[in-house]
Every structure is written in C-alpha cells, then in structure tokens.
C-alpha cells in the first residue's frame, strides 16, 4: 500500500523543503523512492533525517506542485528537520539504508518519534480528487493531454459535490498549472 504524504526535509544550511511523496512501509521501515534529481533525496542523504507529515490540507500538495510559498513549518523535536505547523500527525525519521539506483533510489528510514496533533476527520472525496489531479499535474510532460483532460473532468464531479474552501483553492491552483502548461505548448506549436 502507498500512502500519500508530505515529506519535509532540510539542507545543511537548515533551509526547509516541502514535497508530496508516496511512501510504503516495508518490514517496519518507511520507504521513500525519489526520482532523480530530487532536493528531498539530496537533503535526506546530507542530514540522514526526514519528517513525514500526515495532513488532510490538500493545499500543501497543490502548493508544492505549483511552486507557491512553502507552507509554515516548525522545528522537529528529536531530529534535524522541520514539520508542517498544521498537520494531523507527524513522524520523525532517521535514514537506515539506501538501495542505490541511477533513476529512482530507495531510502529506508526508521520512525524514531511520532506525534498525533489532531484526530482523523473522515474521508472526503474532493481531497482524494485533488491528490489525483496533483499526480496528473506532476506528470504533464509524459501523459497524453486527452488522458489528463478526461480524468480531470471525472474528478471535477467529486469537487462539485464535496469540496470545502481548502479543496477548491487547491483544485484551482492545479487547474491553472495544467491550463498554463497546455497554453504554452500550443503557443510553441504555432510559433
Ligand atoms: C501525491 C503525490 C505523490 C508523489 N510521490 C512521488 C514519489 O514517490 N517519488 C517522486 O520522485 N516524486 C513523487 N511525486 C512528485 C514530487 O512531489 C515532485 O516531483 C517533486 O518535485 C520531487 O522532487 P523534489 O524532492 O526535488 O521536490 C509525488 C507527487 C504527488 C502529488
């Protein structure tokens, strides 16, 4: 099973980086698999630490993908790093081992500290739709436009029926990114 989370990491100067990552649990360890190049990969290799943030604020996913300002972070408690200031829970991780790969190495990390900040609020279809659109928006270069537009249209149903303000804002940022990408592409075609 893959869980969609926000990984926060810092570089050696303490500069925070906030990025969505799908994680797996394998034999009690957290597995993060970043495609190269990745700031998150560089940061984890440099500091040996990372934080998993479990958040239902899907704006953080959309903001990271649309290069909006980094979300508010606060220092981690037991490791070098930061966590989202507002998150349902966070887990502080130390790097245990790395499976090297030229394209997509695997990082195996141990949870050394975890805190529940707020309870789980229940499933929301619009949040799932935003995550799906975020995944599409992170792959515009490799996916056919027809697939992206068809799936976006289907996901829009859950947005229309179940979104709150946070989901609508996140959805809007992603739609803008997708529209701009295809507008630029068609502009290039006519040039
Ligand atoms: C829900 C979601 C899950 C993602 N999971 C991964 C992942 O497992 N590996 C990866 O390389 N990128 C993943 N991405 C894309 C990264 O967030 C994005 O490409 C990012 O730029 C990674 O590079 P960075 O570490 O330099 O920020 C995911 C994106 C989304 C929206």
Give pLDDT, residue 74. Answer: 98
pLDDT reading at 72 higher than 60:
yes
Is the Cβ–Cβ distance between 8 and 17 less than 8 Å? Answer: yes
In terms of DSSP H, where are the helices of the chain? 39-47, 59-65, 125-137, 145-162, 165-190
pLDDT (tens digit per residue) in 162-187: 999 999 999 999 999 999 999 998 88
For residue 190, how far is its CA from the centre of ligand 1 (angstroms)? Answer: 32
CA of 39, closest atom in ligand 1: 26
SS3 of residue 38 by DSSP: coil
Can you name the residues that pair with 73 across neighbouring β-strands?
A: 84
- For domain 3-116, the CATH architecture is Roll (2.30)
Is the Cβ–Cβ distance between 60 and 28 less than 8 Å? Answer: no
Give pLDDT, residue 186. Answer: 86
Outline which parts of the chain fall under CATH 2.30.110.10. 3-116
pLDDT reading at 139 higher than 90:
yes
Whether domain 125-190 has CATH 1.20.58: yes
Q: How far is CA 89 from the centre of its chain?
A: 15
pLDDT (tens digit per residue) in 13-55: 999 999 999 999 999 999 999 999 999 999 999 999 999 999 9
For residue 33, how far is its CA from the centre of ligand 1 (angstroms)? Answer: 9
SS3 of residue 101 by DSSP: coil
Confidence band of 93 (pLDDT split at 50, 70, 90): very high
Mean pLDDT of 138-153: 97
Compute the distance between CA of residue 156 and CA of residue 159 in angstroms, rounded to an integer. Answer: 5
Per-residue burial over 69-101, b = 16 or more CB atoms within 10 Å of its CB, e = otherwise: ebbebeebeebbbbbbeebbbbbbbbbeeeeee
- Tokens read off for 97: 């081992």
180 Cβ contact partners less than 8 Å away, ≥ 6 residues apart: none
| 48 φψ region: left (φ > 0), alpha (ψ -120 to 50), beta (else) | left
pLDDT reading at 70 higher than 90:
no
CA of 41, closest atom in ligand 1: 25
Give pLDDT, residue 148. Answer: 98
For residue 37, how far is its CA from the centre of ligand 1 (angstroms)? Answer: 11
Percent share of the chain, pLDDT over 70: 97
Mean pLDDT of 1-11: 97
Q: Write out residues with Cβ below 6 Å of ligand 1.
A: 4, 19-22, 33-35, 38-40, 61, 65, 131, 134-135, 138
Give pLDDT, residue 191. Answer: 43
Compute the distance between CA of residue 103 and CA of residue 124 in angstroms, rounded to an integer. Answer: 34
Phi, psi for residue 76 in degrees, rounded to 5: -70, 165
Q: Which of 3, 6, 7, 42 is nearest to 23 (CA)?
A: 3
Outline which parts of the chain fall under CATH 1.20.58. 125-190
pLDDT reading at 188 higher than 90:
no
Is the Cβ–Cβ distance between 2 and 22 less than 8 Å? Answer: yes
Mean pLDDT score of the chain: 96
């Amino acid at each position: 099973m893959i869980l969609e989370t926000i990984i926060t990491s810092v570089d050696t100067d303490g500069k925070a980086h906030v990025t969505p990552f799908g994680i797996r649990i394998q034999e009690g360890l957290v597995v993060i698999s970043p495609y190269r190049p990745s700031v998150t990969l560089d940061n984890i290799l440099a500091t040996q630490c990372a934080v998993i943030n479990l958040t239902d604020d899907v704006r953080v996913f959309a903001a990271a993908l649309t290069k909006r300002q980094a979300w508010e972070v606060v220092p981690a408690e037991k490791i070098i790093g930061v966590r989202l200031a507002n998150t349902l829970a966070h887990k502080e991780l130390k790097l245990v081992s790395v499976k090297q790969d030229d394209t997509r190495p695997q990082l195996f990390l141990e949870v050394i500290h975890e805190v529940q900040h707020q309870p789980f609020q229940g499933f929301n279809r619009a949040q799932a739709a935003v995550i799906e659109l975020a995944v599409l928006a992170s792959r515009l270069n490799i996916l056919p436009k027809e697939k992206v537009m068809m799936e976006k249209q289907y996901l829009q149903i859950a947005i229309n029926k179940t979104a709150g303000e946070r989901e609508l804002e996140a959805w809007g940022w992603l739609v803008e990114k997708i529209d701009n990408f295809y507008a630029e592409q068609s502009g290039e075609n006519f040039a």
